[in-house]
Chain A
Amino acid sequence: MRTLPSDAVLTERLLAPLWNVPRFWWLLFGLSSMGTLLLIGAVSYTVARGIGVWGNNIPVAWAFAITNFVWWIGIGHAGTFISAFLLLLNQRWRGSINRIAEAMTIFALVNAAMFPVLHLGRPWFFYWLVPYPSTMNVWPNFKSALPWDVAAVTAYFTVSLLFWYLGLVPDFASARDAAPTRLRRIAYGVFAMGWRGSGYQWSRYRIAYMLLAGLATPLVISVHSIVSLDFSITKLPGWHSTIFPPYFVIGAIYSGLAMVIILLIPLRRAFSLADLITEMHFDRLAKLMLVMGLMLLYSYVMESFMSWYSGDQYERYVYLFSRPRGPYAVAYWIMTIFNVGAPQVFWLRRFRTSTVVLFLVSVAVLIGMWLERFIIIVTSLNRDFLTSSWHVFVPTWVDLSILAGSLALFSTLFLLFVRFVPAMAISEMKVLRHELSVSPTVGQAADA
């Protein structure tokens, strides 16, 4: 890491994937787009026939769709966390991973945004959740969390997109200058918006970037807090809980970090970026994961403790019986082991820097986090107050196709991203390199 290649070499290397496409890319792209077709099929079927094609029922009126929604939104958070949060905290090492993280945020949000609309009984009226003067002169009900959801997610998506794009402008410019054909030069040129890299532009750029970072940072906290209100404002045992906002935010960043690692490791291998995405990066990401894992453990313990301490029989039933011993006990224990157990290996440096371990743990955490949302939603609903209305939920093939399809859509978008957009913030890398060459201690400075 201490001996970085020259600017020119750097630029050329980082732009290489844009000009020559490796075969495996086509392979992966083919697979994921097939999965995306599955998604399109399943979604059209749902819209055509009705929500009944899912496994949902009364009492379990929410299941996969909302689980996926919360999960994807959560994943998005890590992107903003890394790019904005760490930027404001002046964590330089973020430079080599923030672009990927931000892209991930965007694509995760695209997925997430799909579900709230799709899960409506009458999706064609989704705009009734938006406040606008209608000839019915009725307005959304602002006591409910859902209109705020809409607002939060839309704002989050807009800001993230702008933030991402702004960061891309200088790199689009270098892509424009390096592009082999005129057509590509024009294409990248359009997106570069006439970036010339003048000092004037740089100063403006820095201000705008910082402002957006400032805007994005509170969103990391707010969005998932609002999402968590979808549950905590209800009376339902297992949902009705004040710990939810922080608990959800932690979970969100946690799952997001896992996704970042899952994306980084193959990318690093594929484009041989070992000297740019270094052990130090993984080490720090792993440490973050460990911290988040521990905070999550705290939340789990707190939840169960409070349910017992409250003395409320319904609360106690959900946390102390229904979840650990009920029909979804298996999911519950997998969740606990994956989310809390797995990251404990990161106490050891050896594992923090082993890409294999990192990858496996991250996958485990992603699964665990999906299950966590599933547990929260389904096990609270399927056995609530009146024992007579208890009923289990069983997913249908459509539920599963949509989940699989949304993963495929995500990877399709990501593959297109590495193919057409500089996957690493070239300009920032150069800056970092210069700073390092001036004083090799900047790296450590950033560590502290």
Chain B
Amino acid sequence: MPALFPRWTNTAVRTVLISLAVVLPGVPISVMAWQRTPGATGSGYSPDQPVPFNHLLHVTDFRIDCRYCHASAERSSVAGLPPSSACTACHNEVWSNSIALAPVRQSLATNRPVAWNRVNRLPDFVYFNHSIHVAKGVGCETCHGRVDRMSQVVRTAPLTMQWCVDCHANPGPKLRPVDEITVMGRAVGADQVALGDELVRRYKVRRLTNCTTCHR
């Protein structure tokens, strides 16, 4: 009787076997790799806002301190977003009737809040507290990036647990004197290591990596 399988089937079988050897470990590995890409973590996320608020302008040109708008960063767990009334403090004088500010004016008129799009989002089971980080010398820039260069706010941190823990396990390198908290583009000198250790001592910074530091 004729051969059940033609010659090419040998090659076919070999190819299948080899590709299996590649694919089986390949799939999980690539998934783990993808997990670490911005696509998965959401860093670089930059939604359009109802009001095209320009940080570059307000921070770099007008030298407005972060805490003017994000007033509770030093006292509360949340940094806080400015109430509509805060905008009009200046914008009654300048650009008082620009189209860009229409939502703010409307908010004040209708007494309904401006609905901003959240950029930096932590899961609900993570309890992040701004005030303690500020008090221990973690600058705004460290997590929020060069906001002074952003005309539209971009999320710069991956905000993965690993990212948090890396700093919690070894805070020194990320610390700065509390009076430089809001400084943007602070140069990290060669003395940072020494300075870090010094600040860890001065601010009694602990290496907090136990669960209830963030999860409650």
Contacts and interface: CB of A to CB of B under 8 A. Distances in A.
A184 to B, nearest CB: 11
Contact of B162 (A132, A137, A176, A185): A137
A193 B36 CA distance: 41
A189 B4 contact: yes
A153 to B, nearest CB: 18
Leading 4 A-B pairs by shortest Cβ distance? A136-B161, A135-B160, A137-B162, A135-B162
A186 B4 contact: yes
A137 B209 CA distance: 12
Contacts, number: 29
B27 interface: no
23 contacts: A132-B32, A133-B32, A134-B32, A134-B35, A135-B35, A135-B36, A135-B41, A135-B158, A135-B160, A135-B161, A135-B162, A136-B161, A136-B162, A137-B161, A137-B162, A137-B165, A176-B4, A185-B4, A186-B4, A186-B5, A189-B5, A194-B5, A194-B10
Nearest to A138: B161
A182 B4 CA distance: 8
A402 B5 CA distance: 44
**Interface size range of chain B in the complex:** 10 to 19
B200 to A, nearest CB: 22
Given A137-B162, A186-B5, A194-B5, 11 more contacts: A132-B28, A132-B32, A133-B32, A134-B32, A135-B35, A135-B161, A136-B161, A137-B161, A182-B4, A189-B4, A194-B10
B208 to A, nearest CB: 15
Interface in A126-144: 132-138
B4 to A, nearest CB: 5
Contacts of B94: none
B13 interface: yes
Interface in B156-189: 158, 160-162, 165
A162 to B, nearest CB: 14
B13 A136 contact: no
A194 B35 CA distance: 42
Interface string B128-172: 000000000000000000000000000000101110010000000
Interface of A: 132-138, 176, 182, 185-186, 189, 193-194
Contacts of B161: 135-138
Interface in B56-97: none
Contacts of A189: 4-5
Contacts of B10: 194
Contacts of A132: 28, 32
Contacts of A186: 4-5
Nearest to B158: A135
B207 to A, nearest CB: 15
A351 to B, nearest CB: 49
A252 B26 CA distance: 36
Nearest to A179: B4
A114 to B, nearest CB: 21
Contacts of B160: 135-136
Contacts of A138: 161
Contacts of B41: 135
A194 B36 CA distance: 44
Contacts of A176: 4
Nearest to B163: A135
A136 B209 CA distance: 12
A186 B109 CA distance: 79
A193 B13 contact: yes
B8 to A, nearest CB: 13
A63 B112 CA distance: 54
Contacts of A185: 4
A312 to B, nearest CB: 34
Nearest to A192: B4
A8 to B, nearest CB: 17
Interface in B15-51: 28, 32, 35-36, 41
A138 B209 CA distance: 11
Contacts of A134: 32, 35
B28 to A, nearest CB: 7
A186 B3 CA distance: 11
A185 B1 CA distance: 12
Contacts of B4: 176, 182, 185-186, 189
A137 B160 CA distance: 9
B84 to A, nearest CB: 37
Contacts of B165: 137
B63 to A, nearest CB: 37
A55 B165 CA distance: 40
B156 to A, nearest CB: 17
A99 to B, nearest CB: 24
A434 B73 CA distance: 88
